[in-house]
Chain A
Amino acid sequence: MTALGNFAGALLRTTAFRLALAAVAVFLLAAGLIVYVMFWQTNRVLTEQAVATVNSEIAVLQREALTGGPAGLNAAVLSRSLALGPGLYFLSDRRGNKIAGNLSRIPPELSGLPNGGVFNYRNPALAAALGENGTDVDPRLAFAVPVDVAGLRIYVGRDIEDQRQLATRVRLISLFGFGALALLGLLGGLLVSWMVLRRVDRINSASKAIMSGDLSQRLPVTGSGDELDSLAESLNQMLGRIEQLMSGLREVSDNIAHDLKTPLNRLRNRAEAALRDPRGGEAQREGLEATIEAADELMTTFNALLLIARLEAGALEDSAVELNLSNLVNDVAELYEPVADEAKLALTVRESGSIRIRANQQLITQAVANLIDNAIKYSARQMAVGAAQSDRSVKVSVEVVDGAAEISVADRGPGIAPEDRERVLKRFVRLEKSRTAPGTGLGLSLVAAVARLHNGGVRLEDNKPGLVVVMRVPIALDKGAEGRAS
């Protein structure tokens, strides 16, 4: 029961219910005002008509009295009284004795009112004529005006019971109508709030499931496209992003567990071996040096990993500046040129003038450096294994293709098989062949993460033989254009 009570309480507290209540109240107020004004106007018109009729009758009777004297007046009143209409008459002498008319007496309500007024009367005959039955007649409402004519006093009146009945009926209908309206409004409000509450409850229970750890849950969407739906949809998008980030994070920790444990173990082994080495001092020194070296490698890997994770989670912050990509690539190539030279490789850059992008200079530099570094490393290794290569080159080019800047680095190394190309862009993936080569295995994934951060991408192509890595970054908007170009 308390659950039901809680639910009812929740129902009454909903915004929808309160809004419905307010709407009903405003509607009732407006309707009441309109009905009142209409009724008031109708009543006035009816009253004016009755008064006008009475006035014209008075004029007629005065004319009769003028032409026929008291007898003529008497005759006129008599004939009118017999007509059994809404007209009411009472002719008397100065002392109030009745001479003629269909009223039995001067209505007591009119005594002391020289200008006439409203009164109740009973007239069984008239009542019967007007469609009522029996002796037990209800009092009827009328009004009358006294006039002195030819030495006599006459009350000329009119039955306005219809008008009273109309008023009563209008009052009754309004009461019922408004009552029904209020009730319907209330019920409607309850229904709407119940529906809203049910949906909110479903959203709530979904949220609770998500909070308790089930990140794959989504908020229910009815498909009606209303505001709750659009809210749920954007929340769902947010949840999707969160789930993606969380799984990214999990992937990182998995990778850390998987790929850092081995070198950590190696480091530990080296330290232990040095400690046990019977040669003593000198061996320990060597062991410590090897340990520090291993620690440095671990740190490099770890830093690269953290950087990638941060890049994948983050947005391009205020660090983005507009820069000339061609210059940047030339500078990096210049840094690596002696390395390529030493490996007997020709490192060439092909670029056609200034290409402006909006980017984080350090990150783009690092990405380009990684690409060139990889290209040199793999080309050199290919030559080392004795593959007959006439073309000893690493070709770097910068150009605008389909509205985006493309940096491509082509080598004559072993290349990557088509089925492996997607995989190597992921963290830590190193093809088995290169497991033994130095490096963290994060170079390409870092490039991919940097490209994604700048709303670009990376694709791998066949250089036949060798590998082409193409990194795409959107070019900067024209000068003067506002906003981020990325």
Chain B
Amino acid sequence: MRVLVIEDDRETAAFLQKSLKESGHTADLAEDGEGGLSMARGGGYDILIVDRMLPQLDGLTVVKTLRQEEDRTPALILSALGDVDDRVKGLRAGGDDYLTKPYAYTELLARIEALARRATPEEQATRLSVGDLMLDRLSHRVTRSGESVQLQPREFRLLEYLMKHAGQVVTRTMLLENVWDYHFDPQTNVIDVHVSRLRAKIDKNFATPLLHTVRGAGYMIRDSAG
């Protein structure tokens, strides 16, 4: 993935560049809003990471300007402002996701990978499948090896989100935000409990587990054979 990081703090930017490279992506850096905007206009990026507070042109304006120019490149906004209202403003300006500083790199990586996936059309597919696990988004039916799996509505949405991002790490916060629409840290391991319930339903009686825990990051659903 080609990533454009628009961040005025050099150390943060260098850290992101190095970490993204280690994760197998290439990252270009822009130190201010105007430079970032012209680089983004040059195109060719799969994702933008935009700091909200930037010299010359703030991050929200950069994203807003790009969206007005019909540039739909997914953008993750980084901000020290973490209020619900700030988040809403960021998303309203055209940001696709919003991450509050300080953040864990694993969280950022999981989110940009999810965003890049979102930009591809397969997200609209009515049927999702991972290995022999099938999920029909229209009939709300889930089967594994042809056997029907009974899920609660929330479990269905949890599985749907995981399968939509099959092969990618999905963090607990992403699940809380996208499946429950809650934007706070629940402190207790609520998400883990929900995931282990789901796991019991889809993996328990099968030899190959599909739902994996990624240590220090979150969860991933993938077909280990493929």
A299 touches which of B102, B180, B182, B187 (Cβ 8 Å): B102
1/0 contact trace for A363-378 toward B, CB 8 Å? 1011001000100110
Are A338 and B197 touching (Cβ within 8 A)? yes
23 A-B residue pairings within 8 Å (CB atoms): A292-B104, A303-B185, A317-B85, A318-B85, A319-B84, A319-B85, A319-B88, A331-B180, A335-B180, A335-B186, A336-B190, A338-B197, A339-B193, A342-B193, A362-B183, A363-B84, A365-B182, A366-B184, A369-B186, A373-B188, A377-B188, A440-B187, A443-B187
Per the 8 Å Cβ criterion, residues 363-410 of A in contact with B are 363, 365-366, 369, 373, 376-377
Q: How far is the CA of A298 from the CA of B152 in the complex (A)?
A: 36
The reply on B194 being an interface residue by CB < 8 A is yes
Nearest opposing residue in chain B for A338, CB measure: B193
A18 to B186, CA, bound (A): 65
A467 to chain B, nearest CB (A): 17
| Chain B residue contacts of A139, Cβ below 8 A | none
In this complex, what residue of B is CB-closest to A341? Answer: B193
* Given A296-B104, A299-B102, A317-B85, CB of A338 within 8 Å of CB of B194: yes
Say yes or no for A286: interface residue by CB 8 A criterion: no
Minimum Cβ distance to chain A for residue B148 (Å): 22
Report the bound CA distance from A296 to B173 in whole Å.
14
Give every chain A residue within 8 A of B185 (Cβ-Cβ): 300, 303
User: Once the chains are docked, how many angstroms separate the CA of A362 from the CA of B186?
Assistant: 12
CB distance from A275 to the nearest CB of B (A): 21
Is A439 interfacial (CB-CB < 8 Å)? yes
Task: Decide yes or no whether A57 CB sits under 8 A from chain B.
Answer: no
Nearest Cβ on chain B to A447's Cβ, whole angstroms: 12
B125 to chain A, nearest CB (A): 28
What residues on A are CB-neighbors of B184 within 8 Å? 362, 365-366, 369
Main secondary structure of the interface of A (DSSP, over half): helix
Of B104, B193, B197, chain A has the most CB atoms within 10 Å of the CB of B193
Complex: how many Å from CA A369 to CA B194? Answer: 15
Over the window 184-202 of chain B, the binary record of Cβ atoms lying under 8 Å from chain A Cβ atoms (1 yes, 0 no) is 1111111001100100000
Cα A377 to Cα B188 with chains together (Å)? 9
What interface size band does chain A fall in?
A: 20 to 34
CA distance A357 to B186 in the complex (A): 23
Q: Cα distance A17–B186 when bound, in Å? A: 65
Alpha-carbon distance between A375 and B201 when the two chains are bound, in angstroms: 28
Residues of chain B in range 141-191 having any CB-CB distance to chain A below 8 Å: 154, 180, 182-190
Q: How distant is the Cα of A339 from the Cα of B184 in the complex, in angstroms?
A: 17
The answer to whether A289 has its CB under 8 Å from any CB of chain B is yes
Among residues 96 to 123 in chain A, which have CB atoms less than 8 Å away from a CB atom of chain B?
none
Within 8 A of A (CB), among B72-94: 82-85, 88
Tell me if A360 counts as interface (CB < 8 A to partner B).
yes
**Given the complex, which residues of A lie within 8 Å of B82, measured CB to CB?**
303
User: Among A299, A300, A338, A365, which residue has the most Cβ atoms of chain B within 10 A?
Assistant: A338
A214 interface contact, C-beta 8 A: no
Q: Is B42 located at the chain interface by the 8 A CB criterion?
A: no
In A159-176, the 8 Å CB interface with B consists of none
Residues of A within 8 A of B182 (CB): 335, 362, 365-366, 369
Instruction: Check if B121 is an interface residue, CB within 8 A of chain A.
Output: no
B190–A360 touching, CB < 8 Å: no
Closest chain B CB from A297 CB (angstroms): 10
Q: A319-B88, A377-B188 are in contact. List 11 more A-B contacts (CB 8 A).
A: A319-B84, A335-B182, A339-B190, A342-B193, A362-B184, A363-B84, A365-B182, A366-B184, A373-B186, A373-B187, A438-B187
Contact A339 B84 (CB under 8 A): no
B24 at the interface (CB under 8 A from A): no
- B226 interface residue, CB < 8 Å from A? no
A439 and B187 CA atoms in complex are apart in Å by 7
Which residues between 285 and 329 of chain A lie within 8 Å of chain B, taking CB atoms? Answer: 289, 292, 296, 299-300, 303, 310, 317-319
Q: For B183, what are the chain A residues with a Cβ–Cβ distance below 8 Å?
A: 362
Q: Which chain B residue lies CB-closest to A334?
A: B154
**With A299-B102, A339-B193 as given contacts, are A362 and B187 in contact (CB-CB < 8 Å)?**
no
Contacts of A334 in B (CB 8 A): 154
Q: Which residue of B lies closest to A306 (CB)?
A: B82
Residue of A nearest to B155 (CB): A338
**A443–B82 Cα gap in the complex (Å)?**
18
Least distance between B30 CB and chain A CB atoms (Å): 27
8 Å CB contact of B83 from A296, A310, A443: A310
Kindly state the separation between the CA atoms of A289 and B193 in the bound complex, as whole angstroms.
23
Most central of A303, A310, A440 by chain B CB within 10 Å: A303
Chain A residues near B197: list those with CB within 8 A.
338
A193 to chain B, nearest CB (A): 49
B83 / chain A contacts, CB cutoff of 8 Å: 310
Report B-chain residues with C-beta under 8 Å of the C-beta of A319. 84-85, 88
Report whether B188 and A339 are in contact in the complex, using a CB–CB cutoff of 8 Å: yes
Nearest residue (CB) in A for B193 is A338
Contacts of B216 in A (CB 8 A): 289
